[in-house]
Amino acid sequence: MYHRLSYRALRASQTAVSPVARASKSNRSFATGYWYYSHPNEVANLEAKAKRDEEELKRKASLDSTIQAAEAKARQASEDAQAKYESYKSSGQKSLSDARGSTENLYNEARATGEKKYDEAKAAAENKKNEAKASWASWLGWGRSKSEEVKKDVRDAADKNT
């Protein structure tokens, strides 16, 4: 009994060789039909195994296509993120350069305005200085001219008397 069970276990673990491969061409249809008729359990096992293998292949193919789709989606997301990063970076750099240019323009305008006001104030102070000098000179000149007039009058009077 032990020998028979082990023989059956050995037989079940081996893959069945199709009678189509063993039979000659003339006996092929008869041998195939006989084998299927004489081994109904093995035929059912082989058909079930074939179905399982087919389902597993479909599942693997589906899994592979799902993995490929996920990888493609991840690559696309990465590329989109990189493009957005580059866009934001260039936008930020443009904004920074615009701000720098605006700041430089404001500085230059403020400096030019300050220098202009300084020059105007300096010119006004120079004018006031010249006006003050002119007024003192006229006062001093008025006194000098009067003294000259008095000296002249005295000379004229002395000349008349002499």
Task: Determine what percent of the chain is predicted with pLDDT higher than 70.
Answer: 67
pLDDT at 135 (0 to 100): 72
The answer to whether residue 120 scores a pLDDT higher than 90 is yes
Q: What is the mean pLDDT of residues 59-72?
A: 86
Report pLDDT digits (tens) over 123-150.
999 998 888 777 766 666 555 666 778 7
Structure tokens at 123: 């010119």
Question: What pTM was computed for the model?
Answer: 0.36
pLDDT at 136 (0 to 100): 64
Residues with Cβ < 8 Å from 34, sequence gap 6 or more? 19
Residues with Cβ < 8 Å from 85, sequence gap 6 or more? none
When comparing pLDDT for 47 and 116, which is higher?
A: 116
Distance CA 52, CA 60 (A): 12
